[in-house]
Amino acid sequence: MTFASTRVSRRPAPALRTVDLAGVAWPVYKLESLALGFFVVAATLVIAGSLHAAVLAGAAVAVAAWWALRLTELGSLGRGSAESRPIESASSRQTTGPQ
């Protein structure tokens, strides 16, 4: 049997930390990951002297930081973590029979 709920949660969503850039609210974790990516590009370019390696390393670090910081930010707000969601077991459900 399939069940669809039409109720909408009215809980207010907690706000992310943001910085206003040109009238647009940017989440801080995005700016941090971009800055880290640019730093890795510059450092790799100086150390290795290869633009290809610098761009590849910077992009990889920026993407990894973007997702890690995003999940950290959402986890600290209580959204997206598995611990915050209740788990329904088969024994806790009541069966009512065919309808």
67-81 residue pLDDT tens:
999 988 888 776 544
pLDDT tier, 85 (very low <50, low <70, confident <90, very high otherwise): very low
**DSSP codes joined into one string, 7-57:** ----PPPPPPPEEEETTEEEEHHHHHHHHHHHHHHHHHHHHH--HHHHHHH
Name residue, tokens 């610098």.
Answer: 54
pTM of the predicted model as reported, rounded to 2 decimal places: 0.61
5-38 residue pLDDT tens:
777 766 666 677 888 888 888 889 999 999 999 9
